[in-house]
Structure 1
Amino acid sequence: MRAIWKGAVSFGLVNVPVRLFAATENHDVQFRQVHEKDGGRIKYQRVCSIDGEEVAYSDIAKGYEAADGQMVVLSDEELKSLPSRSSKEISIEKFVPSEQIDPLLFDKSYYLEPDKTGLKPYVLLRDALAKADRMALVTVAVRTRMTLAVLRVRDNVIVLQTLLWADEVRAPEFESLGDETHASAKELAMASSLVDSLSGDYEPDEFEDDYAEAVTQLVATKIEGGDITETPEAKEEDTEVVDLLAALQRSVDKAKAAKGGGAAAADSGADDDSGPATKAAAKKAPAKKAPAKKTTAKTAKTTEKKAPAARSATKKASSTRKSATRKSA
C-alpha cells in the first residue's frame, strides 16, 4: 500500500506521527462502453450546451448553479481565496461513547500506521482507546477540506473513519410509517422466533460476490473459445499509412532523380564494382537499378494490403519508373 497522507495525531501534549492508508478498495465489476460492431471504445467530447462547440480542457471553469438556475462562474483565484486547511494534524476533540456515533455517518476508512519514532505513543493511544471502549472524535484536513472523523481500534490498528456532516444525512420522511403503526403481540412473537432460528455470528468469508465471479468466468470462457473482438488502434493505423505514403514518395523522387541523372547513377554503380567493364555496362544499361524496382514493388504490395487508400500513389510511382526506364534506354 502507498501512504496518501502524512501527519500526526495530537493526543494532549503527545504527538503521534502517522501515515494514512486507504483501508478499502472497490472490486466492483467495471464495464466499458464499446461499439458493438468492432469493439472500439466510445469517446465523449466536452461540448458546450449553448453553442455546440467542443471546449478545450484549458477553457473549462468551475460553476455554481444557484437555486433559481443561474450559473455563477468562479475563477481559480476566487477558489484559492476560500478557507481551506492544509494542516497535517489530527486533533482529538473529545472521546465519545461508541454507540453515540450512528453508522450512517461513516464515510471513508483509513489505516493509521506509526512512524518508527512514534511507535510508543501510538501503542499508548491504541490501548487507551480499546480500554475506554470509546471513539476519539477528531478534526482532520484531508485534501485541503476540514472534516470530522473518529479514531477506533480494529485488529490492533488505529482506524480513522471520516464522518458525514449532520446536514448530509437525509431525514426519512415517509407518511406510511406513522407512530401508530406497530406489529401485534402475536406477530412480534413469531418474528422473534424466526430471528432466534436464524441467529449466528458474522463471518465475512462466508459470503462472496457471485455476480463478479460469474462475469469473470463468462469472460474467461469466451476468451478460451476465441470469442474475442480485435480492436486495432486507429491512431497507429493512420501513422502506418502516412509512413507508407512517405516511402512511396521517396521512391517516386528517386525514380525522377534517376531519370535526369544518368551519370550519377553510373557513379553509384561504380561504387559497387570499380572495374571498366562494370562502368561500360552501367552506361549501356542504366535499367540495372532493378533492385530498387523490386524494393518499390514490394513496398507497393504491402501498401495495397495495409492501406487501400495508397493504391493510386503506388500506380503513379510504378508508371513513373516505367517512363524513366524507357527514356533512359
Structure 2
Amino acid sequence: MRAIWKGALTFGLVNVPVKVYSATEDHDVPLHQVHNKDGGRIRYQRICEIDGEVVPFADIDKAYDDGERTVVLTKEDIDSLPAERSREIDVVEFVPSEQVDLLTLDRAYYLEPDGASPKAYVLLRKTLEQTERTAIVRFSLRQKTRLAALRVRGDVLVLQTLLWADEVREAAFPALDEPVRISAKELELSASLVDSFASDFDPSQFVDEYQEELRTLIDAKLEKGDALDTSETFGDREVEETGGEVIDLMEALRASVERSRAARAGAADGTKKDAASSDSTAAEKSAKSSKKKAAKAS
C-alpha cells in the first residue's frame, strides 16, 4: 500500500506521527464507453468555450459564480487556506461508540505509526479499547475539512470519515405516521423467522454476483464473439416479480419459517450424509488395508 497522507494525530499534548492509507479498494471490472456503430472509443476533452482550444489539466483553475460575478480561485489561493495547510488530525472528543450513527460513516483509512517508537500509537489504541469509546477527530484531506471517527480494528487504528450533519437527510414518510396494529402472533412468527436465519456474519462468504457474471460474459464473448448465445452461458432465467403489498402477512410468515427450516434441515442432512459417506469410505479403506496385511502375514 502507498500512503496518501502524512501528519500527526494529536490529543491534548500527545502527538502521534502517522501515515494514512486507503482501507478499501475497488475490484469492479473496468469498462469504457464506445460508439455502438463502429466500436470507436469515446473520448472526453476539456475545451475552453472562448477560444475552442483543448486545455491541459495543469492550466485549469476553479471558479465560483454567484449568478452575477465570477471569482477565479487559483491553486495558490486554495493552498493558502489555513485548513488545507494543516497536517494534524485533531481529536476533539471521545464518545461512547454506540453514539456514532452507522448512517454517517463514509470512507475508511488505516493509520500506521510513523515515529521512532509506536508507544503513543499503542497507548491510544489500548485506551480506546479499554474505555469502549470512539475518538471524534477533525482534519483536512484533499481540499476538504473532514470529521471522522477514530476506532480500533484488530491492532490498527482506523479513521472513518463521517458525513456532516446537514448531509444526512431526514426520513419523512407519511405512511409511518399512521398507527399500525401488530398482533402477538405476528411478532412471534417474525421472531421465529429471524431465528431461522440467525448466523455469525462472515463477509468472505458473500461475493459480488454481478461482477462475477460480468466477467463470465466477457470471457464468453472473447471466446465466441458476437455469436455468443447468453442463454447458453447463463441459462434461461425467469425474472422473479418482487414488490407489491403482501396480502396475507401471517401466511407469508408461516411459509417463510417453514421454508427456512426445511432448507436448514436439508443442509444438515447433506452434512450428515457427507460425514457418513466419509466414514464409510474410511472404513472400507481400513478393511482393505487389514486384508492386505493379513494376506502378507500368511
Establish whether TM, by shorter chain, passes 0.5.
Answer: yes
The amino acid across from 1:5 in the alignment is W
Amino acid at match of 1:220: D
**Long gaps (5+) in structure 2:** 228-298
Work out whether residues 125 and 157 of structure 2, in 8 Å CA contact, stay in contact via their aligned partners in 1: yes
For 1:61 and 1:85, the matched residues in 2 are separated by: 17
Q: What is the distance in 2 between the residues matched to 1:177 and 1:48?
A: 51
Letter of the 1:36 counterpart: N
Q: 2:47 touches 2:55 (CA, 8 Å); kept in 1?
A: no
Q: Structure 2-normalised TM-score?
A: 0.66
Deviation at residue 10 of structure 1 after TM alignment: 1.3
1:194 and 2:193 are equivalent in the alignment:
yes
Q: Report the CA distance shift for 1:37/1:85 in structure 2 as closer, same or farther (over 3 A).
A: closer
Moved more, 35-44 or 15-24: 35-44
The 3 A distance-change label for structure 1 pair 82 and 21 is closer
Indicate the residue corresponding to 2:15 in structure 1.
15
Closer, same or farther in 2 for the Cα pair 1:65/1:180, shift >3 Å? Answer: farther
Partner of 2:152: 153
Query: Is the contact made by 2:16 and 2:115 (CA closer than 8 Å) also made in structure 1?
Result: no
Give the counterpart letter for 1:10 in structure 2.
T
Say whether the 8 Å CA contact 2:78–2:84 is kept in structure 1.
no
Give distance in 1, aligned partners of 2:122 and 2:25. Answer: 26
Q: Is the 8 A contact 1:17 1:118 kept in 2?
A: no
| Residues in 2 aligned to 1:74 and 1:82: alpha-carbon distance in whole angstroms | 15
CA positional deviation for 1:139:
1.2
Distance, in Å, in 2 between the alignment partners of 1:116 and 1:82 is 27
Task: Answer with 130-139 or 216-225: which moved more.
Answer: 216-225
Local SS of the residue matching 1:84: helix
- Is 1:165 the counterpart of 2:179? The answer is no
Structure 2 counterpart of 1:110, which letter?
Y
Matches of residues 177-216 of structure 1 in structure 2 within 5 Å? Answer: 177-178=176-177, 180-181=179-180, 183-216=182-215
**1:107 maps onto 2:94 in alignment:** no
Residue 111 of structure 1 aligns with an amino acid whose one-letter code is Y
Distance 1:33 1:170 in 2: 33
Q: Can you give the 5+ residue segments of structure 1 that lack an aligned partner in the other structure?
A: 229-329
Q: Secondary structure at the match of 1:113?
A: strand
Return 19-28 or 183-192, whichever deviates more.
Answer: 183-192
Q: Deviations over 1:220-258 (max 9, x none)?
A: 233234669xxxxxxxxxxxxxxxxxxxxxxxxxxxxxx
Equivalent pair of 1:16/1:118 in contact (CA under 8 Å): no
CA distance in 1, matches of 2:198, 2:68: 54
Find the aligned partners of 2:121 and 2:197 in 1 and give their Cα distance: 40
User: Given that residues 6 and 18 in structure 2 are in contact (C-alpha distance below 8 angstroms), is that contact kept between their aligned partners in structure 1?
Assistant: yes
Partner of 1:142: 141
Which residue of 2 is the match for residue 117 of structure 1? 116
Match in the other structure for 1:41: 41
Separation (CA, whole Å) in 2 of partners of 1:178 and 1:65: 42
Residue deviations 1:70-93, cap 9 Å, x none? 674433276566553322111111
Tell me the CA shift for residue 163 of structure 1. Answer: 0.9
CA contact (8 A) 1:18 1:118 kept: no
Structure-1 separation of matches of 2:48 and 2:187: 58
Aligned residues: 225
Q: Is the 8 A contact 2:18 2:115 kept in 1?
A: no
Task: Give the secondary-structure state (helix, strand or coil) at the position aligned to 1:151.
Answer: strand
**Aligned sequence identity (%):** 52
> Any idea what SS the aligned residue of 1:153 has?
strand
SS of 1:177 mapped into structure 2:
helix
Report whether the alignment pairs 1:24 with 2:29: no
RMSD: 2.8
- Rg larger for: 1
Question: Cα–Cα, structure 1 residues 203 and 177, in superposed 2: closer, same or farther, change >3 Å?
Answer: same
Contact 1:61 1:73 in 2 (8 A): no
